[in-house]
Amino acid sequence: MTEIILSPHSGFCFGVKLALEKAEEAIGARKGKRIYTCGPLIHNGNVTDELKEKGIEIIDSPDEAEKGSVIIVRSHGEPESFYGLAAEKELEIVDATCPFVFRIHMLVKEAWASGMQIVITGDKDHPEVIGINGWCGNSAFVISSKEEAAEIKSSKKLFVVAQTTITENLFEEVVRELSSKNLEIEVENTICSATSERQAGCLLTAKNSDAMVIIGGKSSSNTAKLYEIAKKHCKNVYFVENIDDLPLKEIQKYNRIGVAAGASTPENAIKEVISNMSDNITENKELSMDDLMEDIEKSLRLPRGGEMVTGKVHQVTDKEIIVNLGCKKDGIIPLEEIKLEGDQKLTDLYSEGDEIQAKVLKTDDGDGSILLSKKKMEAGEHWEQINDALENKTFIDVEVLRQVNGGVIAAYKEVQGFIPLSQLSDRFIEDSSEFVGQTLTVRVSRVDQRRGKAVFSRKAFLNEERQKLVEEIWESVNVDDIVEGTVMRFTDYGAFVDIGGIDGLLHISEISWGKLKHPKEVLEIGQKIHVKVLSMNNEKGKISLGLKQTQPEPWSIINDKYNEGDIVKGKVVQIKEYGCFVELEPGLDGLVHISEVSHRRVGNINEELSQGQEVEAKILEIDKERKRISLSIKETTEPPVFEEEDKKEAAPEEDTEKKPEGEIESEATPETEVEAAPEEAVEETEVAAAPEEAVEETEVEAAPEEAVEEAEVEAAPEEAVEEAEVEAAPEEPAEEAVPEAVEEETEEQA
């Protein structure tokens, strides 16, 4: 099967394309004016014929042009004098000088102005060389071989440039020769890369082909160079301007036929030659005409900017990767357009022949190659992934790069986005520096790919995670469960406890069986505790917790720990006129009536006891039903010893005093104890037990009306008072309201 190989970089170069585009523009905007070029616009008969048909006339000098007409400067450029002549004739100039050639003009003009001797390596009759020479007053030495270089003599410093289409080989020889002479020399290699690449491609193709077909104008210098190169490396070379020149029958015998075209060879000429060859040669062969034409199209077409391309690595250096894209130009991926990790080098990652994908940044990097970027291609993929994440509401991981005003910049691979401070966390963030260097999972909030902007939110992710957790907890936790939690924060009314992702409220009244003023009295932030789930409000997402419920209620186990007659220790937690309350343990207070404080008569209890004081007391009575404990401090000490007479005299008074107190004591329980000694009870005692005077005195000292009223107000809620009143006296007979022991004692004394 015969194979047809199109050499890379075949066909129009950048400069020629530009010139043709400008010519077409000039034709379109001529407005009746005549249009000229000095010499053919490009060295291709077919193209110049076409242009002629469109009205472009070829002249040798602006002198020949009609005044006020249009003159196109072709890609080869013109001498400086040309512009003066054109101005004299009032010609409108369309300057299509190739930018690479224009650069040589400027270099030469500057070097000549600085006193250097210009040396042009090239063909002295080539229009490009004539043009260059015209920018140094036609004073240049024009040489085309190392032999001519050897003959150069100059007292001035040499400034050496090259015609854009000569071979690198020739230029190197000339420069070597000039350098070997004892001359001061400055060299500027101005060979166009489009030319050198085309020549290199041609050489490679020629080496690997049985026959070479060079397509282009016979007057084209660069096509002629290709012919020369091909001939050096291939025995069978055909130089054709169009299909008519091609001996189709003759070339049928070759298995591999290479095709190369000069910079001024139009694409349709290349296609025409190849398609005719394939018609004849590949007849009855496996390759279809469509396939072949597709290959040709592909090889001739240049990718567009922004396009993703796939090619084969042609060469890798530390600074760039040259990629064969299978079209007229090679692609170049500079080092900065490839992401490397750490000390990685390009040669560590890529080798010749590897397939590689990249994005086209420019169809011409200024040196005739296609500028490619792997980073941008990857960024394109990453933008797609970000867009997907936005659309599908999925999360992505980003790395926080740096702090900026109002937030941080975070990167998703090659794409950078912004995370506002308010979206960095589900808590208040004052300083975002702690996030720099961290990898965060975020939701994509906004994307504007055209402007290269993306906004991320970590808060959205955290909220969603929290919601999931809440749902899981709601499913797994039930009322009455005991769960572990961590105390997170305090308020005046309780503490919030994290029970594995959600915070439940531990109300202050649910922390202890005792009374607390603030939760921090018994809890610390960060403390691990076990709490009982008291209630769950699914709608509001609220959970109420209890800590005291994980401990037995003190009254439920009172008999396990306390018995009447026990001496116990406690802390004075409340002092009243009629006595004090002593806390035996949280939630378990007992009353020490004022008469039980000391064996002495106590007028003001504050003189005997103080709040917070640790005391020892004897349990006089435990009323489990009414949850009341009566205590006595004086019973923990020996009574004082009195003289016999004193005792006799003192006895009635003491006994009388003791009686009403005893009545109160018998009812004495926390908070309601005093209320348990209402007026009626006192009256009953009066009648049953005491002489008028004594009772009067007792009433005043032990439970005056005002004191009882005050105690009611201070110590207990209204209902409790009512309850105490009802329970303590009216319904029961008077005798029952007085504890037996006290009654007996009182009667005896009376």
Please give the positions annotated as active site: 128
**15/122 with CB nearer ligand SF4:** 15
Alpha-carbon distance of 477 to 631, in angstroms, equals: 44
Instruction: Identify which of residues 199 and 666 has a Cβ nearer to ligand SF4 in the complex.
Output: 199
Q: Pick the binder of ligand SF4 from 98, 158, 162, 410 (CB under 6 A).
A: 98
Q: Near ligand SF4 by CB under 6 A, which window of 93-101, 176-184, 570-578, 645-653?
A: 93-101
Q: Compute the residue count for the chain.
A: 750
The answer for residues whose C-beta is within 8 angstroms of residue 587's C-beta and 6 or more apart is 512, 513, 514, 548, 553, 554, 555
Least separation in angstroms between CB 15 and ligand SF4: 2
Q: Rule CB under 6 A: say whether 544 interacts with ligand SF4.
A: no
Q: Is 495 in the site for ligand SF4 (CB under 6 A)?
A: no
Provide the mask over 60-89, with x wherever binding to ligand SF4 is found by CB under 6 A and - wherever it is not.
---------------x--------------
Instruction: Tally Cβ neighbours within 10 Å of residue 397.
Output: 11
- Cβ distance to ligand SF4 smaller for residue 15 or 62: 15
Residue (23 or 192) nearer to ligand SF4, CB? 192
Q: Which is nearer to ligand SF4, 17 or 443 (CB)?
A: 17
Q: Which stretch binds ligand SF4 (CB under 6 A): 97-105, 564-572, 611-619, 628-636?
A: 97-105
Q: Is 195 a residue that touches ligand SF4 (CB under 6 A)?
A: yes
Contact flag: residue 97 with ligand SF4 (CB under 6 A): no
Taking the complex as a whole, the smallest distance from the CB of residue 260 to ligand SF4 amounts, in Å, to 14
Angle at which helices 644-667 and 740-749 pack, to 10 degrees?
Answer: 150
Query: Which token pair is 417?
Result: 């986005």
Closest separation in Å from C-beta 364 to ligand SF4: 9
Task: Count residues binding ligand SF4 (CB under 6 A).
Answer: 14
Q: How many CA atoms within 13 Å lie on the side-chain side of 168? A: 10
Contacts of 344 (CB under 8 A, 6+ apart): none
Near ligand SF4 by CB under 6 A: residue from 35, 86, 161, 194: 194
Q: Is 192 in the site for ligand SF4 (CB under 6 A)?
A: yes
Choice between 16 and 715, CB closer to ligand SF4 = 16
Give the pair of three-digit tokens for residue 157: 């410093």
Handedness of CA 162, 164, 166, 167 (dihedral sign): positive
Strands 588-593 and 628-632: parallel
Binding mask 206-245 for ligand SF4 (x = CB under 6 A): ----------------------------------------
Instruction: Please say whether the beta carbons of 95 and 136 come within 8 A.
Output: no
CB of 328 to ligand SF4, least distance (A): 12
Q: Which of the stretches 190-198, 300-308, 458-466, 739-747 binds ligand SF4 when contact is defined by CB under 6 A?
A: 190-198
Mark the segment that binds ligand SF4 (CB under 6 A) among 9-17, 409-417, 461-469, 651-659.
9-17
Q: Tell the smallest beta-carbon distance from residue 99 to ligand SF4 (Å).
A: 7
The answer to whether 725 and 682 have CB atoms below 8 angstroms apart is no
Applying CB under 6 A, among 47, 71, 91, 101 the residue interacting with ligand SF4 is 101
Range 15-44, binding ligand SF4 (CB under 6 A) = 15-16
Residue 225, CB half-sphere, CA atoms under 13 Å: how many?
A: 23
Quick one: 75 or 656, whose CB is closer to ligand SF4?
Answer: 75
Which structure tokens are listed for 169? 């080989």
> Which candidate, 604, 607, 594, places its Cα nearest to that of 633?
594
Q: How far is the CB of 8 from ligand SF4 (least distance, A)?
A: 15
Which residue in 8, 40, 91, 100 binds ligand SF4 (CB under 6 A)? 100
Sign of CA dihedral 41, 47, 49, 50: negative
> Which of the 8 DSSP states describes residue 553?
-
> Hey, what are 146's tokens?
């190392």
Nearest to 669 by CA among 716, 603, 608: 716
In the bound state, the residue with its beta carbon closest to ligand SF4 is 15
d(CA 421, CA 66): 71
Give the footprint of ligand SF4 on residues 262-291 (CB under 6 A). Answer: 263
Q: How far is the CB of 165 from ligand SF4 (least distance, A)?
A: 6
Task: List the structure tokens of 583.
Answer: 């806390």
- 219 versus 275: smaller Cβ distance to ligand SF4: 219
The HSE-up count of residue 283 (CA atoms within 13 Å, CB side) is 9
Nearer to ligand SF4, 197 or 621 (CB): 197
Q: Which of residues 157-176 bind ligand SF4 (CB under 6 A)?
A: 164-165
Q: Which is nearer to ligand SF4, 104 or 313 (CB)?
A: 104
Question: Taking CB under 6 A as the rule, does residue 716 contact ligand SF4?
Answer: no
Exposure of 713 in the CB half-sphere (CA atoms within 13 A): 7
CB under 8 Å, gap of 24 or more: what pairs does 400-403 form?
400/435, 400/436, 400/437, 400/438, 400/439, 400/440, 401/436, 402/436, 403/432, 403/433, 403/436
Taking CB under 6 A as the rule, does residue 14 contact ligand SF4? Answer: yes
The interface region with ligand SF4, picked from 170-178, 188-196, 455-463, 561-569 by CB under 6 A, is 188-196
Q: With left for phi above 0 and alpha for psi between -120 and 50, is residue 184 left, alpha or beta? A: beta
Instruction: For residue 373, give every residue at least 6 positions away whose Cβ sits within 8 Å of its Cβ, in sequence order, or none.
Output: 333, 337, 358, 359, 361
Q: Which residues bind ligand SF4 (CB under 6 A)?
A: 13-16, 75, 98, 100-101, 164-165, 192, 194-195, 263
